[in-house]
């Protein structure tokens, strides 16, 4: 199956983000990759109208800590959505599985606990090249996809109010 371009989307399907507030949590592990994800996410939020003052970026040591960082936003900041950005690269041990499992479940739990969108912007790859390819490389940028998802989910939630 062909890998889709993570940065390709219908621009007209994205609602305006002027009055939306975003938290972005970035894992410091594989920072070359996660920094590129963060740049992509912030640029895409701004492209759709989000203002700098309404985008708060915080760092956690690794992908395992992303849900905790998301919870801090939920408890202590009035954001409309939180984007979690990390990169886990398969190594020789089972660490990969434990971290991926924990961050996926943790993110899902945050969504349901706080009734707020927490976006899963985590790359889980077999090697570094696959990560580079998805952090602004040949397969686009997972950060762009996460930003678009955050905007759409906030808009969806507001449509129920």
Chain residues that interact with ligand DLZ, rule: CB under 6 A: 27, 29-30, 61-65, 86-89, 91, 95, 99
Beta strands (DSSP E) in 46-144 are 55-60, 81-89, 118-125, 135-137, 140-141
Q: How far is the CB of 68 from ligand DLZ (least distance, A)?
A: 10
Nearer to ligand DLZ, 33 or 148 (CB): 33
Query: 144: closest CA among 136, 154, 152, 153?
Result: 136
Q: How far is the CB of 88 from ligand DLZ (least distance, A)?
A: 4
Q: How far is the CB of 19 from ligand DLZ (least distance, A)?
A: 32
Q: How far is the CB of 118 from ligand DLZ (least distance, A)?
A: 17
CB distance 56 to 23 below 8 Å:
yes
Nearer to ligand DLZ, 88 or 151 (CB): 88
Residues with catalytic annotation? Answer: 95
Angle between helices 66-76 and 95-114 (to 10 degrees): 20
Residue 126: Cβ within 10 Å count: 10
Nearer to ligand DLZ, 86 or 143 (CB): 86
Residue 9 CB contacts under 8 Å (≥ 6 apart), including other chains:
144, 145, 148
Nearer to ligand DLZ, 40 or 69 (CB): 69
d(CA 107, CA 153): 15
DSSP 11: G
């Amino acid at each position: 199956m062909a890998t889709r371009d993570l940065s390709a989307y219908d621009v007209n399907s994205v609602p305006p983000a002027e009055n939306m507030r975003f938290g972005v949590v970035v894992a410091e592990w594989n920072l070359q990759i996660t920094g590129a994800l963060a740049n992509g996410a912030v640029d895409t939020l701004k492209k759709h109208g989000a203002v700098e003052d309404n985008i708060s970026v915080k760092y956690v040591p690794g992908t395992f800590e992303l849900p905790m960082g998301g919870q801090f936003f939920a408890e202590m900041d009035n954001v409309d959505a939180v984007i979690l950005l990390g990169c886990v690269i398969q190594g020789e041990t089972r660490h990969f599985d434990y971290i991926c499992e924990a961050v996926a479940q943790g993110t899902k739990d945050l969504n349901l606990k706080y009734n707020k969108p927490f976006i899963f912007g985590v790359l889980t790859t077999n090697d570094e090249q696959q990560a580079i390819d998805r952090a602004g490389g040949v397969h686009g940028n997972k950060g762009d996809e996460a930003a678009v998802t955050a905007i759409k989910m906030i808009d969806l939630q507001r449509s129920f109010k």
